[in-house]
Structure 1
Amino acid sequence: MINIDDFKQEVECIYKDEKYSVRDNGAVFRHPRDGRRPRKYDNFWTFGKPNDKHGYMEIASVRVHIIVATAFHGPKLTKEYVVDHIDTNRRNNRPDNLRWVTRLENALENPITRKRIIMRCGSIEAFLANPALLRENDVTPDFSWMRTVTDAEAQVSKERLLAWAESDKQASGGTLGEWLYGRQPISQNNGQLSSVDEIDKLQSDSLNDWGQIPPFGKEHPIEPEQRKRNIMLSLTSRAAQEIYFYDDKPNEYPCTPQEYSGDPLTAYAANLTENAVYWRNNNGDREYVVDKYGFSEDRNSLYVMTKSAYVWRSQDDGDSMPVPVANLNRDEFSEDELNYQLGEVIYEDNLFVHKRVETGFMPKEYLEEIFDECVGKKNKKIDKN
Structure 2
Amino acid sequence: MYHINFIVMADIDDFTREVECIYKDERYAVRDNGAVFRYPRDGRRPRKYDNFWTFGKPNIVHGYMEIASVRIHTIVATVFLGPKPTKEHVVDHIDTNRRNNRVENLRWVTRLENILDNPITRKRIKLRCGSIEAFLANPSILQENELPPDLRWMRTVTDAEAQVSKKRLLEWAESDKEPSGGSLGAWVFDPSEKSTVYSQQPQVSTHETQADLLTEEGQLGVWGYMQPGFQENDQDNTLQDKEKEEDRKPDLLLSLTPGAAQVKVFFDDKPCEYPCTPQHFEGNPVAAYAANLTDDAVFWRNQTGDRAYSVAKYGYSRDGNSLIVMSRAAYVWKEQADGDSKPVSITQLGPDEYDINKLSCSLTEVTYEQNLFVHERIEPGFHPNEYLEEIFNQCIKKT
TM-score by length of 1: 0.84
User: Which of 131, 152, 166 is the matching residue for 1:144?
Assistant: 152
SS of the residue corresponding to residue 179 of structure 2 reads coil
1:261 aligns with 2:270: no
Task: Tell me the alpha carbon deviations over residues 253-311 of structure 1, each in whole angstroms, 9 at most, x when there is no partner.
Answer: 11111111111111111111111110011111111001111111332111111110111
User: Which of 86, 92, 99 is the matching residue for 2:94?
Assistant: 86
Equivalent residue number for residue 121 of structure 2: 113
Measured in 1, the distance between the counterparts of 2:285 and 2:396 equals 18
Equivalent residue number for residue 7 of structure 1: 14
Long gaps (5+) in structure 2? 1-7, 198-214, 224-240
Question: Which range moves more in the overlay, 363-372 or 316-325?
Answer: 316-325
Query: Structure 1 109/297 Cα, relative in aligned 2: closer, same or farther at 3 Å?
Result: closer
Shift in Å, 1:207: 3.3
Equivalent residues of 2:326, 2:362 under 8 A apart: yes
Equivalent residue number for residue 206 of structure 1: 217
User: Which of 60, 68, 86 is the matching residue for 1:60?
Assistant: 68
Measured in 2, the distance between the counterparts of 1:83 and 1:223 equals 41
Q: How does 1:296-335 map to 2 (within 5 A)?
A: 296-335=317-356
Shift in Å, 1:119: 2.3
Shift in Å, 1:353: 0.9
TM-score by length of 2: 0.81
**Counterpart AA for 2:216:** D
Task: Tell me the alpha carbon deviations over residues 186-236 of structure 1, each in whole angstroms, 9 at most, x when there is no partner.
Answer: 159xxxxxxxxxxxxxxx832334379xxxxxxxxx976224532111111
1:104 aligns with 2:125: no
Shift in Å, 1:163: 1.0
Equivalent residue number for residue 127 of structure 1: 135
Equivalent residue number for residue 225 of structure 1: 244
Shift in Å, 1:98: 1.0
Equivalent residue number for residue 194 of structure 2: 185
SS of the residue corresponding to residue 161 of structure 2 reads helix
Query: Structure 1 164/135 Cα, relative in aligned 2: closer, same or farther at 3 Å?
Result: same
Shift in Å, 1:363: 2.1
SS of the residue corresponding to residue 216 of structure 2 reads helix
Equivalent residues of 2:84, 2:108 under 8 A apart: yes
Equivalent residue number for residue 27 of structure 1: 35
Equivalent residue number for residue 290 of structure 1: 311
**Counterpart AA for 1:134:** L
Long gaps (5+) in structure 1? 189-203, 213-221, 379-385
Query: Structure 1 250/75 Cα, relative in aligned 2: closer, same or farther at 3 Å?
Result: same
- CA RMSD of the aligned region, Å? 2.6
Query: Structure 1 187/89 Cα, relative in aligned 2: closer, same or farther at 3 Å?
Result: closer
Aligned residue pairs, count: 354
Equivalent residues of 2:93, 2:105 under 8 A apart: yes
Shift in Å, 1:181: 4.6
User: Which of 77, 85, 93 is the matching residue for 1:77?
Assistant: 85
Query: Structure 1 187/124 Cα, relative in aligned 2: closer, same or farther at 3 Å?
Result: closer
Equivalent residues of 2:319, 2:397 under 8 A apart: no
Equivalent residues of 1:7, 1:23 under 8 A apart: no
Equivalent residues of 2:37, 2:54 under 8 A apart: yes
SS of the residue corresponding to residue 85 of structure 2 reads coil
Measured in 2, the distance between the counterparts of 1:369 and 1:264 equals 27
* % same residue: 64
